[in-house]
Amino acid sequence: MSRTRFTRRLPAAAAAAGLALAVAACGGESSSSSDGTTVAAADQLKPNADLSKQSVQITVWDGYTPKELPQKAMEQLKIKNVQIQLHETNEVAMTKLTAPGDSGIDVAFVSGQYAQALNEQGLLEPMHHELIPNLANLYPEATQLSYDKGNKYSVPYTWGTTGICYRSDLVKSEPTSWNDLLKPPAWADKKVTMLATERWLALPALKSLGYSINTDKDEELEKAKELLVAQKPHLLRYDDTTFGDRLVSGEAVMAEAWDGWCPTTDPKGNIKFAVPKEGSDLWVDTMVIMKSSKNKEAAHALINYILSPEIHSWAAENINYKVPNKAAMEQVKIAKGSLLGTTPAELLAGEAAIDLGQASTKYTRLQQDVTAS
């Protein structure tokens, strides 16, 4: 199994900039459905459209889909052309998707709260479920995601949670609480890392205090900041990318980590992952179709193809992230120690991060205040 490192999220300033762009974007026509969800007006699509006259441009993280996806899609779906553009982060994708004029992008991969922000601005085409029969492969839980119940405008691609990744042979007691990171014991002093990305930096403190990870209350964010500032002298460092290597080497003994990046399949078997008793999050990366796409039938066909077990299982096998596709996961050989066996019900116990609009800048300030303290 190979494992590609990529950055799905960037630090505070970039995150805020990305969502602010979405807020400022000029969207298409939209309306509110009975459940309050803003849904763009759907185009009339042709189920039997000639895909050989349509081309699809995708924007996605490097290493997040099979390299041979474009060629296979052209051969099997008879789409005229499929091309991939790469983005390093959600924020880069948002800049591309919300810029004035036609981005030329048909299908975009972004995290759930970013899909929500795009949809609220009327920039997304509603999903035409009749053109995506492989939606039936999804776990029922994957249709109940809080930012988009019923998969009205997005289709989940990968999902997971955040917890404590740790060296079971180097800790004197196994971590069970976010306070084990926030107030590390003396034997772990300066051997702990935390995620620096703003929403995930705040997550352990908010959960330990019993608050929502989506809170926009100033008093709750202030208490979370106080905890994080007090923790800082006891940290090894903030680290979004190399904490797994630091655990393997023994430089770190505990780290706040996304589950798929916690190297629990290390041959020595000493690295474990725990979801703290106070609870955690549910993160989701999604596929969306832009309202501006001129190739919507081919875009739907491509998403349907990606949801086939053969293609979707690739993500679990190669980037070590769970996929919300029951038929695909049933094909995956789960290695000893792997976190791929986490069930959908266990994941949905986590709180999904949602787009906070302008309130997201409060998390930007919190992150800046903590890291600059």
The radius of gyration of the chain from alpha carbons, rounded to an integer in Å, stands at 21
The pLDDT of residue 3: 31
Q: What is the mean pLDDT of residues 340-361?
A: 91
Q: pTM score, two decimals? A: 0.84
Q: What is the mean pLDDT of residues 105-127?
A: 95
Contact yes or no for 293/125 (Cβ under 8 A) = yes
Using the predicted structure, report yes or no on whether residue 285 has a pLDDT greater than 60: yes
Could you give the CA distance from residue 171 to residue 50 in angstroms, rounded to a whole number? 60
Contact yes or no for 129/95 (Cβ under 8 A) = no
**3-state secondary structure at position 3:** coil
pLDDT digits 0-9 by tens, 149-190: 999 999 999 999 999 999 999 999 999 999 999 999 999 999
* Cα–Cα distance list, 299 to 57, 71, 99, 207, 215 (Å): 9, 15, 21, 39, 35
Residue 357 tokens, joined: 């609009």
- The interaxial angle of helices 69-77 and 296-306, nearest 10 deg, is 110
The pLDDT of residue 16: 40
Q: What is the mean pLDDT of residues 249-259?
A: 96
Q: What are phi and psi of 133, to 5 degrees?
A: -60, -25
Domains and CATH numbers, the chain: 48-159+283-345 (3.40.190.10), 160-282+358-372 (3.40.190.10)
Q: Which helix (H) or strand (E) holds 328?
A: helix 326-329
| Summary mean pLDDT of the chain | 89
Using the predicted structure, report yes or no on whether residue 28 has a pLDDT greater than 70: no
Using the predicted structure, report yes or no on whether residue 93 has a pLDDT greater than 70: yes
3-state SS record for 142-204: HHCCCCCCCCCCCEEEEEECEEEEEECCCCCCCCCCCHHHHCCCHHHCCCEEECCCHHHHHHH
